Structure 1
Amino acid sequence: MNGMSDVRLALHSQELEAAQERTLSMPGETRWSLFRRRRHTRKALLTLTREQLLDVGLTAEQARHEGLKPFWRD
């Protein structure tokens, strides 16, 4: 590897760490608690009625798309 590649890898690594810290939005939240929260909220989206979805501003298709995403995906 040349020096430029090393710099790019270091910067990319820092960007990934910063993005991960932003994702863990609740104080003291671990990666696993984030995954549990995502799983819980996504499963809940699949059970909402059309009126409840309207209240939160989502269509049934949007809720289904988000609800079926794996917990590890942002």
Structure 2
Amino acid sequence: MSGMSDVRLALHSQELEAEQGRTLSAPANSRWSLFWHRSHTRKALLDMTAEQLRDIGLSAEQARQEGVKPFWRK
């Protein structure tokens, strides 16, 4: 993952939260899209370096805990 500023990460986080709220009443294909996104981003967390994790404010343990979650869990 390329370096992202704190502002971009915060905005991206807000977009994801809004998407999750819409997904609760959205058609099934949107839910699969959300599941795919969760799976993809969680795998990316597992590949991040300590410096990248520090940049986004996560410890290695926090990234591991999120990275090993199944895609269907929030």
TM-score bin, normalised by smaller chain = 0.5 to 0.7
Following superposition, the deviation at residue 71 of structure 1 comes to 0.1
Alpha-carbon RMSD across the aligned residues, in angstroms, is: 2.2
TM-score (norm 1): 0.64
Unpaired stretches in structure 2, ≥5 consecutive residues: 1-19
* Identity value in percent: 62
Following superposition, the deviation at residue 23 of structure 1 comes to 5.9
Structure with larger RCO (C-alpha < 8 A, sep 6+): 2
* Equivalences, count: 52
Aligned-partner Cα distance in 2 for 1:62–1:70? 15
Displacement over 4 Å in runs of 4+: none
Unpaired stretches in structure 1, ≥5 consecutive residues: 1-20
